[in-house]
Structure 1
Amino acid sequence: MISVTPLSLLYLVPTAVVYFMIQPHYLHACRQMRRLDNLARAPVLNQAAEIRLGAQVIVTFNQVDTFRDRVRDVIDDHIRVWAPYVMLNPWLTLRLQLLSSVLQLLSASLLLWLNTSPSTLGLAMNFLIQITSNLNSFVQMRATLEADITSAERVWSYAANVPESQRAEEQRPAPSWPDMPVINFESYSASYAAGGVPCLRDLSFSIAAGEHVAVVGRTGAGKSSLSLALLRALEQGDSYNGRITIDGLDISKICLADLRNRITFLPQEPFVFAGTIRHNLDFAGTETDERLQEALSACQMSRFFNLEPAQNLLDYPVSDSG
């Protein structure tokens, strides 16, 4: 179009400038609304997963109406955020189309006022329509990209967090620790965030070595918080007293990496990663083949595989989720 007439610059440059002036107003609102939408959607998904896993318990204890009200509340909260977010795109589209129409009208009027030949006028208007259409698509795609990238932004924010520093008073436990893994909670209190509401308050109990203990409670009672407390994943500020000891050592004074390497959790639903049986049994690669085969035999898993020689069993491939 520029090769047809230098007058194209009269509307090409202002068009691009005005288009990019509109973007910041839309993008600022779109990013914030997308973040709110992601936050409001999480309770809906959590509630759906909780109902799916506990449907029989909900029906047995006649709590259908209670959970129906909960679902209605979280969906209403999500819609309050989702509806304005959805309306942002028509808001942008309307303004871009109005701007395109105004620019096309002004350009046509200018070319007619300059007595431009009909062929040149038609060609210029044709290219102007194409340019405004491409600018519309570019602005909307850029806006969509910035809105969608907020999900990745949340992941980056967690990845960019300052790693937990090793405190000067932390000590390295003996290689054999814990010999007698007696767990003691002594007036222990903690919260998920510094200065937040305590999720565990003034707990005191003891679990002997080899003892089997069941922790029972409703959702949010703090069952999973006990596990996180053993890993020092909770905040225990200066305002909270108490401590946790394992085999007589205060875990707040133990090197965090050593502490977490000595504690093993067995989830109700096992996680199987793509790779080999060896990789799933021994992520660190520190155990011998004999130890791994003994573990499989103890779990009565080796009888499901008829591979020769025996150590090939450890290299048996598995896919995601088994």
Structure 2
Amino acid sequence: MLEDGKIKASGSYSDIKASGTIFTRLASQIEDEDEVRRKSAVPKEKEEHEVQVLEKEAKASGNVPWSVYRDFLNAGGGTMNVVILILGFVLSQSSDSIAEYFVTWWVNIEQVRSSNASTPTALTVSLNDSDSRPTIEDPYADWWLRPLFSDSEKAIAYYSALCISIVVLTLARSIYFYNWCLTASTTLHKYMMDNIVYSSMLFFSKNPSGRILNRFSKDIGSLDEMLPYTLLDTVQIGVRVVAISIVIGSLSYWIVIPSIVIVVLFYILRTVYLQTSRDVKRIESITRSPIFTHLSTSLQGLTTIRALKAEQTLTKEFDIYQNKNTAAYFMFLGASRTFGFWLDAICVLYVAAAIFILLFVKSETFGGNIGLALTQAMGITGMFQWGMRQWSELENQMTSVQRVQEYAVLKQEADEGKYQPPTEWPDKGKVEFDNMSLQYSPNEPFILKKVTIVVQPREKVGIVGRTGAGKSSLIQALFRLAHVEGRILIDNIDTKTIPLKRLRSSISIIPQEPVLFSGTFRRNLDPFDEYKDEALWNALEEVELKSLVTELPAGLNHRVTEGGGNLSVGQRQLVCLARAILRNNRILVMDEATSNVDPQTDALIQKTIRKTFHDCTVSINERYR
């Protein structure tokens, strides 16, 4: 400690405090003042000190309700589009089954011709004592489609036509299906976007940005990319399995028995698997939200992180979040692979049973029928296996639809105002709080209670208080960003009777942290293209930014990066001030607008307010220092 240019004491804080110098008296005086301030402070209720905490992200449990499937189908265009899709699947599968039957009939007819070439009139299956050569009865002799197989060239032509029809129908069905899925995804995205934009500020204060971004990125990505492919496979394989079962049943009803058994076993296995995989998928989605939040906040505070050398700390936190998400995803993959193993084992048993039945239980004469039955039986096992996997994956993917749907039904801001005030309202700028109380939600305590304030037109009012005193809550009440009881009058008109859009557009605000959009200077000054370029240049000249914008290559069309990253904090605040000048509203609110700017910019803002807003009602919120 120095006194009169000489060292009077040195050492630690405790040593200097005990040295008996003037520092001892100053330290004691400050401690006494702090004690008096603490004892004389007005006690507040506990609830008023409680800050709003983030809500734990909701996690659904159990089966995905059918209402989610119904809403997804409706989002694609309604019942008619669903009916068209079903017809498309049925027609494409029918053409495929007919083509397979066509080959079978062709093989059988050729077998009859080959076997009976030497005895064209003996067409009964018998073994005579005098003749050991068997003959085959021709079941297609009087068939009306028999002329199609009169010669090989004609049969090849008809079969080629069937193959072309399969390709055309399948391609048309797939294009229509993917367009339908895209429509459903776009509709759900629109619902979610509209509801989030018009939801209350309470929602944004209790839900971090990463949680919201997770819905718009990963979940919407699943709807756009993964869900259409999975849903197409599930429906297509389902229709295919039904068709194959009909084909096999028509050839040998004994194969229906193991087919029923395998369906029951697969359904039981799927039910057991989904009890785990569905919830694990939900956990994986939830543990992904902190990753987005951490990454977003890290990018926003990158300068501070580097200044404090906190890179390692943030990296470790990111690794913790990533490990939790990876663990959930790894568990999901393990459950999926186990499910696939047991499906393979059951399919092997089914193929063995089908071959045994065809070779030993039923004696089949025609090779075409045996070939069709065997190929269908072996094909249906792969269909069953892949279909069960995709059906289970569909349920997992539908959790993304459920998560999107949760944000598509958010509670909206109450906008009961119907009265349209005159165009020039407010023309005076009188603001009156009449017995006003504010709470962030109906279930929470009041933050402001019975507040009565009258601000006369053209008055410049400063609202001063410590952090948490309720300064920003007054602004929220004025803009109706929270639940308000009592009355707030502007030029003797109750703001509850005015639509929110008209109310908020009639009040200008310059926040503590300037808000700029990713776009041009013109778009940031005039988002709705309401003013001519001359008015924009005049507003920029008022805040001394005209020369800066003029020197830019694109002028007013120069792009502003996200959050105004290519501008200084002071320049961003001046752009917000220019925006307020352009609106020319009678009421201006400044929420600690100069707390983060340099003295020169502070002086410019104060000068502009005194010059430009001298006829306006100005409310300035400042933190008590």
Q: Which TM-score band applies after superposition, normalised by the shorter structure?
A: 0.5 to 0.7
2:511 is the counterpart of 1:270: no
> Secondary structure of the residue that 1:244 maps to in structure 2?
strand
Question: 1:151 Cα deviation (Å)?
Answer: 3.9
Structure 2 residue aligned with 1:245: 489
Residue 134 (str. 1) matches residue 378 (str. 2): no
**1 CA distance for matches of 2:296 and 2:526?**
34
Output the amino acid matched with 2:477: A
The answer for the alignment partner of 2:132 in structure 1 is none
What's the CA shift string for 1:135-159, capped at 9, x where partnerless? 244224413421223442234223x
Q: Residue 517 of structure 2 contacts residue 524 of structure 2 at CA under 8 Å; is this kept in 1?
A: yes
- Alpha-carbon shift at residue 199 of structure 1 (Å): 4.0
What residue ranges of structure 1 are gaps of 5+ in the alignment? 61-67
Tell me: CA distance 1:98–1:42, structure 2 relative to 1, closer, same or farther (3 Å): same
The amino acid that maps onto 1:249 is: I
Q: Which of 139, 156, 163 is matched with 2:408 structurally?
A: 156
Per-residue deviation, 1:262: 0.6
| Mean CA deviation greater in 173-182 or 277-286 | 173-182
Q: Distance in 2 between matches of 1:181 and 1:35?
A: 52
The answer as to 2:436 corresponding to 1:188 is yes
What's the CA shift for 1:294? 0.9
> How high is the sequence identity, in percent, across the aligned residues?
18
SS at match of 2:528: coil
Alpha-carbon spacing, 1:319–1:134, altered in 2? closer, same or farther (3 Å): farther
- Aligned partner of 2:482 in structure 1 is 234
Range with greater deviation from structure 2 (208-217 or 82-91): 82-91
Within 2, Cα distance between the matches of 1:320 and 1:11?
65
Partners of 2:267 and 2:396 in 1: CA distance: 15
Contact 1:19–1:96 (8 Å) recurs in 2: no
The one-letter amino acid paired with 2:517 is V
1:291 Cα deviation (Å)?
Answer: 1.3
The 5-angstrom pairing of residues 10-29 of structure 1 reads: 22=270, 26=274
Once residues 296 and 16 of structure 1 are traced to their aligned partners in structure 2, the CA distance between those partners, rounded to angstroms, is 73
Could you report, residue by residue, the CA deviation over 1:41-96 in whole angstroms, capped at 9, with x for unpaired residues? 4699389849975997xxx9xxxxxxx9xxx9xx99xx6x9977975664455345
Q: Name 2:346's counterpart in structure 1.
A: 102
Deviations 1:152-202 (A, max 9, x none): 2234223xx5674535xx533343333443444344223333344334444
2:416 maps to 166
Displacement of 1:259 after TM fit? Answer: 1.0
Give the direction of change, closer, same or farther, for the CA distance of 1:207–1:107 in structure 2 (3 Å limit).
Answer: farther
For 1:287 and 1:24, the matched residues in 2 are separated by: 63
Give the unaligned 5+ runs of structure 2. 1-95, 105-246, 364-369, 565-625
| Contact 2:416–2:497 (CA under 8 A) maintained in structure 1 | no
Q: Is the 8 A contact 2:463 2:471 kept in 1?
A: no
Q: Secondary structure at the match of 1:175?
A: coil
Structure with the higher helix share, 1 or 2: 2
Pick closer, same or farther for the CA change 1:110–1:166 going to 2, 3 Å.
same
Q: Give the match for residue 217 of structure 1.
A: 467
What secondary structure sits across from 2:460 in the alignment? coil
The offset of 1:23, in angstroms, is: 6.3
Alpha-carbon separation, structure 1, partners of 2:389 and 2:272: 16
| Cα 1:99–1:270 shift into 2, 3 Å | same
CA distance in 2 between partners of 1:44 and 1:223 (Å): 31
Q: 2:351–2:381: 8 Å Cα contact kept in structure 1?
A: no
Q: Distance in 2 between matches of 1:147 and 1:124?
A: 34
TM-score by length of 2: 0.37
Check whether the contact 1:193–1:235 (CA below 8 A) recurs between aligned residues.
yes
Alignment correspondent of 1:291: 535
Compared with structure 1, are the counterparts of its residues 87 and 97 closer, same or farther at alpha carbon in structure 2 (3 Å cutoff)? same
Match of 2:278 in 1: 30
Name the SS of the counterpart of 2:483 in structure 1: coil
CA distance in 1 between counterparts of 2:339 and 2:376 reads 23
- 8 Å CA contact 1:16, 1:135 repeated in 2: no
Question: How has the CA–CA distance of structure 1 residues 84 and 298 changed in structure 2, closer, same or farther, with 3 Å as cutoff?
Answer: same
Give the TM-score, by structure 1 length.
0.63
The offset of 1:211, in angstroms, is 3.1
Q: Which piece of structure 1 moves more, 294-303 or 88-97?
A: 88-97
The answer for the alignment partner of 2:237 in structure 1 is none
Q: Which residue, out of 300, 318, 321, partners 2:559?
A: 318
Larger radius of gyration: 2
2:395 to 140, 143, 165: 143
* d(CA) in 2 for partners of 1:215, 1:48: 31
For residue 313 of structure 1, what is the amino acid of its counterpart?
Answer: G
CA RMSD of the aligned region, Å? 5.2
